[in-house]
Chain A
Amino acid sequence: DTAVSQTPKYLVTQMGNDKSIKCEQNLGHDTMYWYKQDSKKFLKIMFSYNNKELIINETVPNRFSPKSPDKAHLNLHINSLELGDSAVYFCASSPGQKNIQYFGAGTRLSVL
């Protein structure tokens, strides 16, 4: 049973398109995150939700819109995709204590 699962694993799309990535966790954690990892492996936090409420928004362009329908799900919608959006996007969840992060396997987004 995968603890944090993301779909799709791969996403190849044209500039200007809109796409969504879905994330689900079955760990019972209250907090979920979206991270962007570039080609140099730098992992940067984008958003954090605690029990469906947005608590961290790290100056991400407003083309990126997260949505949390319940505390087990956190989706990411991206409008008007740009070349610079190409990266691996990771979803993570945390029980809160020590902020230990449990990551999904990532979604590799390529914008052509």
Chain B
Amino acid sequence: QKEVEQDPGPLSVPEGAIVSLNCTYSNSAFQYFMWYRQYSRKGPELLMYTYSSGNKEDGRFTAQVDKSSKYISLFIRDSQPSDSATYLCAIPSGGKSTFGDGTTLTVKP
């Protein structure tokens, strides 16, 4: 079983839609949960992270962790064409980060 599994996508939504991106993980000891965004032909960049359980909100983005079910989500409200990118969940452990396979999102105007 992979340590981090991500819903594969791709995902295509109309502008203004609410987007839900999801990952599951296997190790209940994980504490930090990251979301990176990667635009086409660019390197990934950290979008936001959460510590332990709960929600964290940053503008139109909300990261959610449910440690009881080992499930992490990223919600995007009022999605914009500029949100079109690949989103990768990542979990740091042992001096490295394990990344999900990425979900490619396209927001159509």
Whether the pair B86, A99 counts as a contact (CB closer than 8 A) is no
Known A-B contacts A33-B96, A41-B86, A56-B96; A101 and B46 likewise in contact (beta carbons under 8 Å):
yes
Give CA–CA (A35, B33) in the complex, Å.
19
Q: Which chain A residues numbered 52 to 72 have a C-beta less than 8 Å away from chain B?
A: 55-56
Whether the pair A42, B92 counts as a contact (CB closer than 8 A) is no
Give CA–CA (A31, B94) in the complex, Å.
13
Whether the pair B101, A99 counts as a contact (CB closer than 8 A) is no
In the complex, which range does the number of interface residues on chain A fall in? Answer: 20 to 34
**Is B59 in the interface zone, CB < 8 Å from A?**
no
Give CA–CA (A48, B95) in the complex, Å.
9
Whether the pair A43, B32 counts as a contact (CB closer than 8 A) is no
Known A-B contacts A90-B43, A100-B49, A101-B46; A41 and B38 likewise in contact (beta carbons under 8 Å):
yes
Residues of chain B lying within 8 A (CB to CB) of residue A41: 38, 86, 88, 101-102, 104
Report the minimal beta-carbon distance from A36 to chain B, rounded to whole angstroms: 11
Q: Which chain A residues numbered 9 to 44 have a C-beta less than 8 Å away from chain B?
A: 31, 33, 40-44
Chain A residues with a Cβ under 8 A of chain B: 4, 31, 33, 40-45, 48, 50, 55-56, 90, 92, 98-106
Chain B residues with a Cβ under 8 A of chain A: 32, 34, 36, 38, 41-46, 49, 86, 88, 90, 92-93, 95-99, 101-102, 104
**In the complex, the 10 A-B pairs of residues with the closest C-beta atoms, listed nearest first:** A103-B43, A99-B92, A41-B102, A43-B99, A42-B101, A98-B32, A103-B44, A99-B97, A105-B43, A41-B86
